[in-house]
Amino acid sequence: MNNSEVINLQQIIKTYDMGGAEEVHALRGVSIQIRKNEYVAIMGPSGSGKSTLMNIIGCLDTPTSGLYEFNSVNVSEMNDNQLAKVRNKEIGFVFQTFNLLARSDALHNVELPLIYGGVTSADRKRRAREALEHVGLGDRIHHKPNELSGGQRQRVAIARALVNQPSILLADEPTGNLDSKTGDEIMQLFEELHRQGNTIILVTHEEYIAEHAHRIVRIRDGMIESDQTINKRTPALADQGR
């Protein structure tokens, strides 16, 4: 199971019909496989289709055509409830704009996926608190988003993404709204999460951020331009090596 494909995309096309003859080809046939415990950075110029791809991988959006298998299950054959369940249990999504519920405190925001997952109240509180401690926010659990710094907000969002122990963590420019120092802290957090065995796909503009990853996929005009694995020792190999 360790090397099985979590994500398998074959010839994914996404076309936006703008009315009339005008069409936007956001993705023009993307094929990519991502295995468990990979750390993938997706790069490319603005408007190249990175977010579109991430939203499709995150089951938030549906491709116009192509095959998408998540853990070997064909996503296009899933109904609404099954999709909701995958989003809830299998995918943790971290957004550039955090997307926290403004009226709720950090703890409640992190609890939310557990609520929709049907976890009982006591269990929920404990797990949400643990997730917040994990991202270094144990002392901020009752702060509302507007009482937290940008970096702290993103940590809440990461805790929320991780609380259900998903198969994969998706992050679309998670440091885009942060200064470089805070961004670095977040990137260290991702690295640590990867070391702990999480599978991560991350979209970024910045080369130095992509360097944290072990595989860089470059996209241009809705197509994969290059897909290179950086010759780093994976944590698993590193463990074996010692």
Partner 1 sequence: MNQSFETLVYEIRESLGMALAALRTNKLRSILTLLGIAVGVFSIIAVMTAMGVLVSSIESGLSQLGVNTFQVQRRPIFHSNDPRERAKIRKRKFIKYEQGLRVKENATQAKAVGLESWQFGRIVVTPFGNKTNPNVSLAGEDIEGFTTNNWAIGDGRLFTSEELSAAKSVAIVGMGVVEKIFPKMDPINQTVRIDGEEYQVIGVIERKGGMLGGNFDNFVAIPLTTYFEVYGKDRDVHIMVQSTDRETYDDCIEQVRGILRTARHVAPGDEDDFYIFSNDSLIERFNEVTYYVRLGILLVSAIALLAAGVGIMNIMLVSVTERTREIGIRKAIGARKTNILTQFILEAIVLSEFGGMIGILLGVIAGNLAAVFLEIPPVIPFDWAAIGFFICSIIGIAFGVYPAWKASNLDPIESLRYE
Ligand X SMILES: Nc1ncnc2c1ncn2[C@@H]1O[C@H](COP(=O)(O)OP(=O)(O)OP(=O)(O)O)[C@@H](O)[C@H]1O
């295995």: which residue's tokens? 35
For residue 47, the partner it binds in Mg ion, ligand X, partner 1, none, with Cβ less than 5 to 8 A by kind, is ligand X
118 in Cβ contact with 193 (< 8 Å):
no
Interface segment toward Mg ion; rule CB under 5 A; list 50-58, 85-93, 145-153, 180-188: 50-58
51, 55, 175, 204: which one binds Mg ion (CB under 5 A): 51
Does position 218 bind ligand X by CB under 6 A?
no
Structure tokens at 51: 């977010």
Cα torsion 235, 1, 54, 97 to 10°: value is -60
163 in Cβ contact with 131 (< 8 Å):
yes
End-to-end CA distance of the chain: 23
For residue 48, the partner it binds in ligand X, partner 1, Mg ion, none, with Cβ less than 5 to 8 A by kind, is ligand X
10, 11, 23, 47: which one binds ligand X (CB under 6 A): 47
Cα atoms in the 13 Å half-sphere on the side-chain side of 133: 6
- Please report, as ranges, the residues that interact with ligand X according to CB under 6 A: 16, 24, 26, 44, 46-52
- Please report, as ranges, the residues that interact with partner 1 according to CB under 8 A: 55, 58, 60-61, 80-81, 84-85, 87-89, 93, 95, 99-101, 103, 112-113, 115-121, 124, 160, 164
